Chain A
Amino acid sequence: MSAVIETKSTYDVAAVRRDFPILARDVRGKRLVYLDNAATTQKPRQVIDRLVRYYSEENSNVHRGVHYLSELATLEYENARAYIRRFLNARDEKEIVFTRGTTESINLVAQTWGRANVREGDEILISAIEHHSNIVPWQMLCAEKQASLRIIPVFDNGELDLDAYERMLNPRVKLVAVGHASNALGTINPLRRIIGAAHANGSLVLVDGAQGVPHLTVDLQALDCDFYAFSGHKVYGPTGIGVLYGKQELLEAMPPWQGGGDMILSVSFEKTTYNALPYKFEAGTPNIAGAIGLAAALQYVASIGLDAIAAYEHELLVYAAARLQEIEGLRLIGTARGKAAVISFVLEGVHPHDIGTVLDQEGIAVRTGHHCAQPLMMRFNVPATGRASFGLYNTREEADALVAGLHKVIEVFR
């Protein structure tokens, strides 16, 4: 075992764990070891309590009533938006649009900005390591517009080939859509360089931040991307809520997406006037509790500190990767220099699905499969992988439990 890695004593993981009620439960008679954080994270009491308080004391519809509760719910909903703007350092609250999550945010951009701006012969660049939700909306758009979808290649270690990327840029490229961090490999993409090159070429950039916000500090003004999408549930918040950030001038110029209440100023059968940002893109009663819960989740993350979380998770990643590599026949898929705390692996002679079942009997939750990134699996020539993804509450003991579980797998199959 590596004695090289020193524990930082400042990060009180035991205290963090006490905030997450579910971590105290047993699964199949064993203490839960939850290592599926890239799929969704567990929720701290601060978020759960906030949801309970909203529904117990504040619930009402927003933007429509003059009564007390409606004003209160509206205030809390808008406070949530204001907090999220600050958390991400966006310039204006108008740039924060609530959606159902990353998938909906990306589809919104493809359906509105994309349909209005992408024409026959144009190109959209995505990378070889994208999640299906940052592939399929662009395929649909390109099919409709007879535009072409081109793929930034990836090296064997899981890093994007940025020289190839820069050579692919040309005047027909309207948009570059890339992930902040890969859910399947953990690779953190060098966004500064990607965005800088795209902008120099006159192309816009959308960042799929589903795995960015949970692990990395996001400063949208410094990043200067044009769109940024993420999901609440991957950053310790509720499901069914997410954000689309877009630069104001872009959002202003985009046609609305869904029609309905809240997104209009006035409706007559002859003419409808659309509401201002961000409401233009928030048709219908929104996920009010979700937005408030998401802000509570980000407040929770901020209370621990993203730098502290990133440092702690990085230590865990290094420790876990080293221990896993001690296992004979285990191969890591994705060894980029910059990585979020996601470890994909294959074990010689054992299919990942069988690994998942054996680990589950030990109370260990990992993901096995293609991780919604089938083109990536093909690129690395594996049908599927096992994936352990860590969050701010995971421990070295849990990494050890994973290693012990994998030895059990080997015992069953060899």
Chain B
Amino acid sequence: MSDLRELYQQVILDHNKNPRNFHAMPDASRTVDGYNPLCGDHYTIFLRLDGETIREVSFTGSGCAISKASASVMSSTVKGKSKEEAGQLFDTFHRLVTGDASGLSAAELGRLAAFSGVSEFPARVKCATLAWHTLRSALEGTEEKVSTE
């Protein structure tokens, strides 16, 4: 059970059950779909931008606990951040879930630290990063649909 508890930390279980910012945003400045065809996880990310700043983030959709909690934590973490800061957070998160967390401080990680167990489950990395990939393309404004396959 210990690896499982590492993966499904309380923060993740909580965000899965009660996802934050889990609603559509009719007046969003950007709306992008993210899809993981392997498991059918599917989210839509809504952004309201104010110049370089992310004012609001919300999401809808469905998927496993890891992907949903990740979308929820992501939405509350990047709110109020600049586009560049959000990009750096994604880099940090990506290193964490792929097991390259050396040199990342607890302060840098903040709430993201709840996802540290993912690195022991390579098959779940895509679940954890789906919302972040979707956020990135929403910020870049390049694609309407993101796939992690």
Contact = CB atoms under 8 A, between A and B. Distances in A.
- Do A and B originate from a single complex? yes
Interface of A: 350-354, 357-358, 361, 368-370, 374, 377, 383-384, 408, 412-413
Contacts of B63: 351, 353, 383
B62 interface: yes
Contacts of B121: 357
Contacts of B42: 383
Contact of B65 (A351, A368, A369): A351
A361 B8 CA distance: 13
Contacts of B13: 412-413
Interface of B: 1, 3-5, 7-8, 13, 38-42, 62-66, 68, 121, 123-124, 127
Given A351-B65, A354-B66, A384 B123 contact: no
B39 A357 contact: no
A33 B25 CA distance: 45
Nearest to A411: B1
Given A353-B39, A384-B39, A361 B4 contact: yes
Interface centre among A351, A368, A383 (most CB of B within 10 A): A351
7 contacts: A351-B64, A357-B123, A361-B3, A361-B4, A383-B42, A412-B4, A413-B8
Contacts of A354: 8, 64-66
A384 B63 CA distance: 9
A352 B41 CA distance: 11
Nearest to A385: B40
Given A351-B63, A353-B64, A354-B66, A377 B40 contact: yes
A354 B7 CA distance: 10
A318 to B, nearest CB: 29
A368 B123 contact: no
Given A351-B63, A383-B41, 5 more contacts: A352-B64, A358-B4, A361-B3, A369-B39, A370-B39
